[in-house]
C-alpha cells in the first residue's frame, strides 16, 4: 500500500484510531501511526525536492504559529496552567503540524471520500443495531473492539454498566461519544450535499444521506439533531 493511501486512511478514520490505547501508556493508535509515518513523509518530500508552496497549507500554518506563540506566552504568564494543559498543547500542535505540512501533498481526496462514506454508513447501521438491542432485547452491544484497551476508562465503564443504570441510553456506535458519531457523519453529509454532483435528484440517489440523517436523529446527540435539521432544510 502506498504511503499516500496509508496517510489518507489514517486521517479519515483518525477519531476511531484515537479510541484505542497502544501498549505504550497514554498513546493512542492514531498518534502512533502518524508518528511512524512521519519519517516516510519527510523522506518523500525531500527526495522529490518539493517546494514549500506546494506542500504547505498556509492558513493552517498561521494557526499553528499562533497557537505556538500563545502557549509560549502562557508558559511565562501562568506556568501552572501551562503545565496542566501541556499534553493537550502538544497534541494540538502535532495535529496542526500534520495538517499544515502533509495534507496538501499526501491526502487523497477520492480515497478519503470513499472511506468516509463507508465508515459513516457502517457506523450508522451499527448504531441502529445498538438501539434495537437496547429497546428490544435490553442489551447494549459495545462498539469497541473486544480485548483492545481504550484510551478513556469512562468508555469502558459505560459499556459495562449502561444497562444497569437509570441514565438515558445514548448509543455511540463505534465512536467515543454520540457527538463524535454525529460530527463524523455530518461531515459525510456535508460533502455529499454541498460538494458532490448528483445527476438526478431522486430519492434513490440519496439513500445513503437519508440513512445517515436518520442516524443523526436517533443518536440523541444535540449536534446530530441540529445537523439533521439543517441538512433537511437544505435539501427541500
Q: Which of 210, 230, 228 is nearest to 219 (CA)?
A: 228
Rounded distance between C-alpha atoms, residue 67 and residue 86, angstroms:
12
**224-230: average pLDDT:** 81
Neighbour tally for 80: CB within 10 Å: 7
What grid cell was written down for 11?
486521517
163: Cβ–Cβ under 8 A, 6 or more apart, which residues?
134, 138, 139, 140, 169
Q: What is the pLDDT of residue 198?
A: 54
Rounded distance between C-alpha atoms, residue 154 and residue 162, angstroms:
11
Q: In this model, does residue 236 exceed pLDDT 70?
A: no
Residue boundaries of the structural domains of the chain: 3-106, 109-235
**181-196: average pLDDT:** 86
Q: In this model, does residue 24 exceed pLDDT 80?
A: yes
Q: How confident is the model at residue 163 (pLDDT cuts 50, 70, 90)?
A: low
3-state secondary structure the chain: CCHHHHHHHHHHCHHHHCCEECCCCCCEHHHHHHHHHHHHHHHHHHHCCCCHHHHCCHHHHHHHHHHHHHHHHHHHHCHHHHHHHHHHHHHHHHHHHHHHHCHHHHCCHHHHHHHHHHHHHHHHHHHHHHHHHHHCCCCCCCCCCCCCCECCHHHHHHHHHHHHCCCCCCCCCCCCCHHHHHHHHHHHHHHHHHHCCCCCCCHHHHHHHHHHHHHHHHCCCHHHHHHHHHHHHHHC
Neighbour tally for 31: CB within 10 Å: 19
Q: In this model, does residue 89 exceed pLDDT 90?
A: no
At 92-146, the pLDDT tens digits run: 788 888 888 888 889 999 999 999 999 999 999 999 999 998 888 888 889 999 8
Amino acid at each position: 500500500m502506498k504511503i499516500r493511501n496509508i496517510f489518507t486512511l489514517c486521517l479519515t478514520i483518525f477519531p476511531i484510531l484515537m479510541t484505542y490505547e497502544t501498549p505504550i501508556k497514554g498513546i493512542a493508535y492514531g498518534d502512533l501511526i502518524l508518528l511512524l509515518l512521519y519519517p516516510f513523509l519527510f523522506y518523500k518530500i525531500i527526495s522529490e525536492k518539493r517546494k514549500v508552496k506546494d506542500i504547505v497549507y498556509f492558513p493552517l500554518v498561521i494557526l499553528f504559529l499562533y497557537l505556538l506563540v500563545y502557549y509560549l506566552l502562557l508558559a511565562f504568564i501562568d506556568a501552572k496552567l501551562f503545565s496542566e494543559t501541556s499534553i493537550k498543547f502538544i497534541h494540538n500542535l502535532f495535529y496542526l503540524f500534520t495538517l499544515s505540512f502533509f495534507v496538501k501533498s499526501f491526502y487523497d481526496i477520492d480515497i478519503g471520500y470513499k472511506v468516509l462514506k463507508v465508515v459513516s454508513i457502517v457506523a450508522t447501521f451499527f448504531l441502529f443495531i445498538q438501539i434495537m438491542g437496547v429497546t428490544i432485547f435490553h442489551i447494549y452491544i459495545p462498539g469497541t473492539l473486544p480485548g483492545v484497551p481504550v484510551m478513556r476508562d469512562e468508555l469502558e465503564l459505560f459499556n459495562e454498566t449502561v444497562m444497569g443504570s437509570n441514565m438515558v441510553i445514548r448509543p455511540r456506535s463505534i465512536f467515543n461519544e454520540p457527538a463524535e458519531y454525529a460530527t463524523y457523519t455530518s461531515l459525510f453529509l456535508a460533502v455529499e450535499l454541498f460538494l458532490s454532483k448528483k445527476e438526478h435528484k431522486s430519492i434513490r440517489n440519496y439513500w445513503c444521506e437519508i440513512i445517515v440523517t436518520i442516524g443523526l436523529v436517533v443518536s440523541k446527540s444535540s449536534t446530530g439533531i441540529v445537523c439533521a435539521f439543517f441538512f433537511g432544510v437544505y435539501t427541500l
